Amino acid sequence: MKFPRAASTAGKGIRALGISTEATPTRVRAFSSLGVTSTNTGACSIKATTTTATKLQQARQTCLRSPSCRRTPFTPHSRRTYASSSSSDAPLSKTALYDLHLAHGAKMVPFGGFEMPVQYSGLSVSASHHFTREKASLFDVGHMVQHRFEGPGATAFLQRVTPASLETLPTHQGTLSALLWPGTGGIVDDTIVTRLGPELFYVVTNAACRDKDLAYLKEQLAAWDGPEVRHEVLDKWGLIALQGPLAEELLTQVLEDPAETNLRELYFGQSRFAKVKGGANPVLISRAGYTGEDGFEISISPADTVAVTETLLDTAGPEKLQFAGLGARDSLRLEAGMCLYGHDLDDSTTPVEAALGWIVGKDRRTPASDADKFHGADVVLAQLTPKSKGGSGVIRRRVGLLIKGAPAREGAEIVSADGDKIGVVTSGCPSPTLGKNIAMGYILDGLHKAGTEVQVLVRGRSRKAVVAKMPFVTAKYYKGTAPA
């Protein structure tokens, strides 16, 4: 995969992301109990250590007892708090853009341990949703956890904890995946994994799962017996999502060298380092998002986050670009058929049950040995195999629903014509784009096919519903025609 003059910016970009181009860090302090050394940048160098299966199970049970692993109680959409599933008495954190949100009239709410904007004055959630679909919106996603994994064992380690095919993943290409529990194949968290070099990966995980994910990764790294892996959390780094049909036009306007960073040659899932106006350091631009629209996620150094964001907003102007909050983000992602961890995904759900079987790489489905297996492979691969061919199949599957009458919210029961419970709604809202009530949830296998008529209990009343294909709104990802 070729990028114009990629070599001229790659080194600067890697250094800007806090990634040393030196072979070995110079300062370390030891954590002898885990066999972990921490560099002066916070990276962890994991040596060959062993952890017993009992300790792994104890760590897993500790995480499962944590509130961050549990689905949040259902609250009606009109009163939805957007509270994180990881409740804590600790004070809420703030992203680098907190003051900028307030200056733009944001209503702040707790989410993922942060104070985050749910909407902005003068723009309803529905209006913000439509603005994103028609023009472009800017979302602050700096609460999410950005990681880097580096070293000769990085590929193999990430292939142990996820079912992704990373050995064949090209440089500057990303893929949706999931961290999985050993033994069960349950989803610890969903994640995006991007290869930035032969031994270098950029990974993004959810804010609400931060404590659980970091405990999981610490335990898995301590148990790792392969080549060295260094892990660093990019704390304080900014992350913004520019989404909508005008996204490419608006981002091009702030590039220092639009000819060098030709966004027409950057396809969905790909990334690139580039200099943008307002920032001293290169940013990492990934063509991705959580809305179903074309767009970009931009990782920015702490010193540049506010300036780069202000430059984007000021250059575009309010007629083309507006801030958008959690309210619009939620309805946009649901129309796009995308999962929200803690609601549509949890530790007890496997990728196959979640209709995410496609994230299991083709070359990961026939492991040559136990060493080649990802966590939970025996369970997940059996679920992928039809019962007619000796597989186990699944009991339930994630589906989309179109519902007549009042909208169904999380926790609403899905029932058969006879009144038997056959599933549960995990997310639901009125669709601003379609003018219909949409939802997703889990239903018994065999009843999951599109067109199946069911009923949903909404406030004690039965509402007609039909299983529908997702996404509800056609995705507009820019895939272009990849160069030879």
**Residue whose entry in the numeric block shows the structure tokens 């179109």:** 402
| CA quadruple 167, 168, 171, 177: dihedral sign | negative
Q: Is 297 annotated as a binding residue?
A: yes
Instruction: Please state, in angstroms and rounded to a whole number, the distance separating the CA atoms of residues 17 and 301.
Output: 7
Under 8 Å CB-to-CB from 393, ≥6 apart: which residues? 383, 385, 386, 387, 445
Q: Work out the angle at residue 337's Cα, subtended by the Cα atoms of residues 434 and 463, and round it to the nearest 5 degrees.
A: 60
Instruction: Please state, in angstroms and rounded to a whole number, the distance separating the CA atoms of residues 422 and 420.
Output: 6
59: its two tokens: 């760590």
Stated as kind and residue range, the H or E segment containing 329 is: helix 326-335
Exposure pattern of 215-253 as b/e (b: 16+ CB <10 Å)? bbbbbbbbbbebbbbbbbbbeebbbbbbbbbbbbebbee
**What are the Cα distances from residue 394, in Å, to 177, 354, 384, 400?**
20, 10, 8, 17
**How many residues make up the chain in this entry?**
484
Which residues fall in the annotated binding site? 297
State the binding site for substrate.
297
